[in-house]
Amino acid sequence: MSFQRSLRLFSQPARFQIPGRAVCQKRWLATEVDASKLPLAGVRVLDMTRVLAGPYCTQILGDLGAEVIKIEHPTRGDDTRAWGPPYASYTEQSGQQGPGEAAYFLAVNRNKKSIGLSFQDKAGVDILHKLAKQCDVLVENYLPGALKKYGMDYESVSKVNPNIIYASITGYGQTGPHSKRAGYDVMVEAEMGLMHITGHRDGPPAKVGVAVTDLTTGLYTSNSVMAALIARGRTGKGQHIDVALADCQIATLANIASSCLISGKPDSGRWGTAHPSIVPYKGFKTKDGDILLGGGNDRLFGVLCEKLGKPEWAQDARFKTNPDRVKRRDELEDLIENITKTKTTQQWLDILEGSGMPYAPINDVKQTLEHEHTQARGMVTEIFHPTCGPMKLVSPPVKFSHSQPRIRTPPPTLGQHTDELLTGILGMEPNEVEALKNQGVIS
């Protein structure tokens, strides 16, 4: 099934000046031509997800050209609209009250359209059913069975739209002993092995600094949706996709899980920035920060020894081979750090430049976003938000040679596109839409 879609144009100028800042780089605006060149142009997605894993999945689909219709609670919206600070402040001209738009929500909801809709009213459920009939994909992240009472479970939806690709994201999946349990990222990190292998060598288990289980689940789901769309092109049939945070977390244990399965032994625990089988391979203190060094083989270790001013270490019987270095890990790492602490991070970067030795400064997030390579790769885009004005967001990361995904539209305000979607897709009259707003069914 293919649909012709149109995208609303934004009237703000492509270049604008913010007081106290230099002129921003050109902002890419949405046009029908832009969208038509994208890989998922013509695909319509009903997004019934909130928080992170689901919205991250649907944002990827939106980046790639799909029209994403985000269903939100008519007064609260997505949970993450309240997850602040920080907030992007409303402009005075917007007339909006409150702290602004939460940075958390802004991170995973670009290239989407928002409709505020209540499930508690039959009229709202009827609208959901009608939208589902007009969509190629539905993504939801409710507990198994929760949508059945609204007739929005896969079995019900597939009867009225047998071509639909229906993806369910849950903590533990649609089957299994824990399928009815709610599961946030950190709980799954804890239960499914990741937290146990994360943290300092002698410290307690730690969660990863970003909700990586949610994010990898979103990635797996978006890949699976696209694969199902390709399969539908061959078979003409839609299908149900069951994605669990727990399963995705186990899958991304990768070589650590494989090591346990092959050896029959428990994992080797936490290693901080170090590697259990390679030395040196970790972060070292400098005079003003940290630098990560990776001597992955004997040749690279020799290069590092030269740059540290200790060429004799490469032939030292204690450190000559990687197994030797692993045995004397603490001794060698202490020797290296005694030297790295004598210079600044930048001095070490200058010394190691062009050496072929893998190295990197350990930057904070602000430094990362301001990094010259980040800027050169276009990984930060300045856009114009309808109620907050100019703001910077992280860009879609993958570069295509013929159809470049960009931020075509900013993350929507709650119910920003309700009128457009109900009149445009469902053919409702403006007075019908207004009546439903007055009843609190939509916003």
Q: What is the C-alpha to C-alpha distance for residues 156 and 129, in angstroms, rounded to an integer?
A: 9
- 43 contacts 36 by C-beta, under 8 angstroms: no
Q: In the block, which residue shows the tokens 């930060």?
A: 380
Q: Which two tokens stand for residue 438?
A: 């007055």
Q: What is the C-alpha to C-alpha distance for residues 245 and 248, in angstroms, rounded to an integer?
A: 5
Amino acid (1-letter code) at residue 323: P
Q: Give the Å distances, CA to CA, from 29 to 108, 219, 384, 407, 422.
A: 19, 26, 10, 8, 24
Q: What is the C-alpha to C-alpha distance for residues 47 and 148, in angstroms, rounded to an integer?
A: 17
Q: Which residues carry out catalysis?
A: 214
Longest dimension (CA), the chain: 85
Q: CA 419, 425, 427, 430: dihedral to nearest 10 degrees?
A: 0
Q: How many CB atoms lie within 10 A of CB 387?
A: 17
Q: What is the C-alpha to C-alpha distance for residues 280 and 326, in angstroms, rounded to an integer?
A: 8
Question: How many Å separate Cα 139 from the centre of its chain?
Answer: 15
Q: Give the Å distances, CA to CA, from 64 to 25, 34, 78, 123, 184.
A: 22, 11, 22, 32, 27
Q: What is the C-alpha to C-alpha distance for residues 217 and 9, in angstroms, rounded to an integer?
A: 32
Q: What is the C-alpha to C-alpha distance for residues 358 and 21, in angstroms, rounded to an integer?
A: 35
Number of Cα atoms under 13 Å in the Cβ half of residue 94: 18
DSSP SS3 for 284: strand
